[in-house]
Structure 1
């Protein structure tokens, strides 16, 4: 495999630069002209003067191209955006603009019955979106020539080319650290990034139809790839590592602002369910990501917490008849889940690998069958069987009724917005517990057990005791999330607590969220859970093909980025040990060695 730097198209350099900048501006301008003649296509693309629906995505892509083309002209201050050079990001952004625009045009032709339904504005947009891509191909790019492997069949050849493609599409190699900016400037950058994250998250949730969400995914995925190729992600990672407190505060402030951006309580309900799913995934990350224990029945601990809290929260259908305040119900839910974690873990954690996974899968099914049977007929009347525990009252904390709308100035927070803010506090608590455990001697011991349990025990680590502690802590965190979930949904029934299903949370989706996001990290499971909840929620129109498309996307992602979307340095090196020079910069590269759960220093300390 040989690497050279040359343009793919024989264009003069000034012409290539002009095509990129002019094409980006033309792509953005085309969104102010109507693309079709009928409003039957979702989003109403028939209006001149302002973009609507999928046109907004094309507008964003065009403006990004124009912004990232400025370093090509040496505009002062813009070079900070492309520390690895501006050629690669404008090429990827050109592909993003073309993909998003042509997806829209094809969708219009498909749903309305032919290309005749495209107005001149649509054709202008299609042509304009190709100009930045053509111009970028005329810029000097790092090009790699890959030869055939010396031996092997079709599978070996396929693996060879996929590996080469993985190296090419990955981020640029580690860059020299940038000169630190003024502290206030860096703080403003962190706040701006948090605001941008809130905007992207909000837009993804409020997409009202499947075509818009697919376009959003296309632009977001390829746009993120462009930022990685530019080296901007590595630069922002280093910046946030220097200001961890500011970054954490900005992230939670942006999350807390989400309910104030919503006028429809439905989208706030999506947000609170995402937080519940993400918090449970973060609890599972203690078990899977840190201790390396594959738990396929983890959703049962969420159910234990939900049922325990429902029984003591004043429900009219509860056989217990208690009505504890929220803090009491939360403690009961956490304690019940913790006890179940210890009871199940004590006899099973001496197993390893697939055997442990099978046992935990069995526990999950036993829990679901047991709560179905405790109906007063097949067994004692505790859970009311398939009918579950219903009519769980809304929380009332210090006179604040979470079931009522509350007005703050010009903002009105509905029921789900109230629970969103409460769940955000729970998420903050779980993040704090996870990070503290991760940075402790116990966390380093968990990582040592995950990497090689035999070697860890030879260094004096009590593997069984620490694995049981991980199991209990993960179960308690899931029980806490289940407490809030019971009040949000008004009822607790057995059906959601199963291994697999079309809608999360279930054990399969929880494990996928941890692996997809990045095991052993904090942001990884949060991002993975957000994606895995939103995708089934927004792709309902695919009906029976939903899981097929979802599965294909996961397979491709795991092949191209097996370490997860946000991975620590050790995971990067393990999955890319043959091409270390091309490995993606990890999200924790710039963190101190003691805080990296996968660092060699952490493993050595745990062994000591």
Structure 2
């Protein structure tokens, strides 16, 4: 009797033992952890001061955390009791991705030291230990056999345990976000390393199946999840150590994300490509500025904030209907060109209403400055306030206000998306001709989407006008170095995931925070932006957080599985 062997069988027999490879991953990770407690350079001229022994600098702390995660997942692959839950869908992919993240973050830091200080002579032994320690896990994890499999059903946990897990997840998320926002602008290397480590860690946790498990827990405990989300968001200003510096970034992220959610109604639900959406933000901001008591206002009176909000939202609503009514009979690229033209017309018109080229309403290119701070129920938003012994700056007041605005926008988006009109939007997006054949009034449905999206943008614009205390036409362009603008708003929706709530919020946060932290790359911002979109379209076209419909559309593997099943059946026969 002869035994037939195939090259694939021989390769499996000759492959190194996974146990040895996993021990190599753990050993290299331990070296990286040890290196974090050593000096990586002898001079404090490198930002962050990596000259201390026994006290990791923040940038070394990132390598330490990445190495800990890598070692923990490797131990899970070895079957260590208490850690098996880390890899419900297999260990090879998360271990390899985490080891690559550790390698990329550590090597970037060491190379940055060499570049900034001018040579390898500035490196201390700790840097060499870090280089070797981060390289070993990456090489060993690459050789690990693929053990990907469908995750087994999770064990049923007590209600209190699920709540503890959700609370811990929110606490970790709040710490990670705060760490990134609080990085010193004078240490761009730290933020780049942070992006590398967090990016690879997020992909690894996604591949391991932990995010899916957490998603099931949050779905089963919706009230706890909402309370945890609100508590984490409210706690952010209270844990800031640098005053209002980074709270302002958070406020602008919330404004950007709120406007992106409004655009998501138009693009994500109704499928209408709007390239001039930022103009609706400008309409709301200008309307609020004109009636909020600015010394440069042509109207010369001041309405209470609630009235100014209504004025801004109604002004954007009217502009949305006026622009949408004659143009929404167009489709595709033609509609995109018309909306792009509207955005440019708005910016130019605001610059010409200066009393010379047109009526004196907006003060022309100089804009409307000196917009007074809000005051609600005796609470002045422009002053610091002591809450529970913690001093909150002026921007913390606007932060809490924007949380309320975003909560309102999320509620409107969720209710509208799940309503009859929301289903009509989706039908129009998928196939307008078929939807109209089924009795849907396409023009009416699209006009409602356009008007609702414009109203939500105007609502955010009223707050933006008071936060910035000035409104100028240059803030509302199609594309520019500083978001929000129409290009970045559209990118936030596509990057995060069209038709979802969390997607545009995440996309807006990334697209605002990264340029704010990496100002030295401003000249190459659009280049990096384009490369990122190309990579996203190639590897995750449905967005970072996609709905189930998009995932099925872009990752339908039924066609690929049929030949494999047929080949398996023949082999078995």
TM-score by length of 1: 0.87
Query: Quick one: structure 1 residues 100 and 581, their matched pair in 2 at CA, closer, same or farther if it must change by over 3 Å?
Result: farther
State yes or no: 1:473 paired with 2:449: no
Query: Quick one: structure 1 residues 174 and 469, their matched pair in 2 at CA, closer, same or farther if it must change by over 3 Å?
Result: farther
Point out where structure 2 has 5 or more consecutive residues left out of the alignment.
1-6, 562-573
For 1:300 and 1:177, the matched residues in 2 are separated by 49
Q: Which residue in the other structure is 1:349 paired with?
A: 328
- Residues 516-555 of structure 1 correspond to what in structure 2 (within 5 A)? 516-555=495-534
Could you tell which deviates more after superposition, 390-399 or 70-79?
70-79
Q: Which residue in the other structure is 1:288 paired with?
A: 267
State yes or no: 1:127 paired with 2:127: no
> Contact 2:19/2:78 (CA < 8 Å) preserved in 1?
no
Q: Which residue in the other structure is 1:452 paired with?
A: 431
Q: Render the CA deviation track for 1:307-358: whole Å, top value 9, x for unaligned.
A: 1111111111111122111111111110110011011111111111001001
- Residues 118-197 of structure 1 correspond to what in structure 2 (within 5 A)? 118-141=123-146, 175-197=151-173
Match of 2:509, SS state, is helix
For 2:122 and 2:23, the matched residues in 1 are separated by 32
State yes or no: 1:70 paired with 2:75: yes
Q: Render the CA deviation track for 1:8-34: whole Å, top value 9, x for unaligned.
A: 995444332322223223212210111
State yes or no: 1:402 paired with 2:381: yes
> Contact 1:5/1:141 (CA < 8 Å) preserved in 2?
no
Point out where structure 1 has 5 or more consecutive residues left out of the alignment.
143-171, 583-608
Could you tell which deviates more after superposition, 233-242 or 368-377?
233-242
- Give the alignment's Cα RMSD to 1 decimal: 2.0
C-alpha displacement of 1:4: 8.9
- Residues 384-399 of structure 1 correspond to what in structure 2 (within 5 A)? 384-399=363-378
C-alpha displacement of 1:412: 1.1
For 2:305 and 2:67, the matched residues in 1 are separated by 49
Query: Quick one: structure 1 residues 305 and 226, their matched pair in 2 at CA, closer, same or farther if it must change by over 3 Å?
Result: same
Q: Give the count of matched residue pairs.
A: 552
Q: Which one of the candidate residues 251, 264, 285 is aligned to 2:229?
A: 251
State yes or no: 1:324 paired with 2:329: no
Q: Which residue in the other structure is 1:149 paired with?
A: none
Q: Which residue in the other structure is 1:360 paired with?
A: 339
> Contact 1:5/1:140 (CA < 8 Å) preserved in 2?
no
For 1:283 and 1:392, the matched residues in 2 are separated by 25
Q: Render the CA deviation track for 1:164-185: whole Å, top value 9, x for unaligned.
A: xxxxxxxx67644423321111
For 1:137 and 1:373, the matched residues in 2 are separated by 61
Q: Render the CA deviation track for 1:194-243: whole Å, top value 9, x for unaligned.
A: 11221121122122222112111111111111112211122112222222
For 2:328 and 2:16, the matched residues in 1 are separated by 64
Could you tell which deviates more after superposition, 300-309 or 183-192?
183-192
C-alpha displacement of 1:63: 1.3
Structure 1 residue ranges, 4+ long, deviating more than 6 angstroms after superposition: 2-9, 579-582
> Contact 1:523/1:566 (CA < 8 Å) preserved in 2?
yes
Q: Which one of the candidate residues 35, 43, 47 is aligned to 1:38?
A: 43
> Contact 2:38/2:52 (CA < 8 Å) preserved in 1?
yes
Could you tell which deviates more after superposition, 354-363 or 214-223?
214-223
For 2:477 and 2:208, the matched residues in 1 are separated by 42
Could you tell which deviates more after superposition, 387-396 or 196-205?
196-205
Q: Which residue in the other structure is 1:235 paired with?
A: 213
Q: Render the CA deviation track for 1:538-596: whole Å, top value 9, x for unaligned.
A: 221124223222321221122111111111111112223356779xxxxxxxxxxxxxx
> Contact 1:12/1:138 (CA < 8 Å) preserved in 2?
no
Query: Quick one: structure 1 residues 578 and 89, their matched pair in 2 at CA, closer, same or farther if it must change by over 3 Å?
Result: closer
State yes or no: 1:225 paired with 2:222: no
Q: Which residue in the other structure is 2:178 paired with?
A: 202
State yes or no: 1:381 paired with 2:360: yes
Q: Which one of the candidate residues 93, 107, 116 is aligned to 1:111?
A: 116
Q: Which residue in the other structure is 1:167 paired with?
A: none
Match of 2:474, SS state, is coil
For 1:269 and 1:580, the matched residues in 2 are separated by 49
Q: Which one of the candidate residues 74, 87, 94 is aligned to 1:89?
A: 94
State yes or no: 1:315 paired with 2:320: no
> Contact 2:515/2:522 (CA < 8 Å) preserved in 1?
no
Q: Render the CA deviation track for 1:375-422: whole Å, top value 9, x for unaligned.
A: 112111111111111111111111111111111223111011111111
Q: Render the CA deviation track for 1:112-141: whole Å, top value 9, x for unaligned.
A: 112121100000111111232233245322
For 1:127 and 1:254, the matched residues in 2 are separated by 38
Query: Quick one: structure 1 residues 5 and 313, their matched pair in 2 at CA, closer, same or farther if it must change by over 3 Å?
Result: farther
TM-score by length of 2: 0.93
Q: Which residue in the other structure is 1:428 paired with?
A: 407
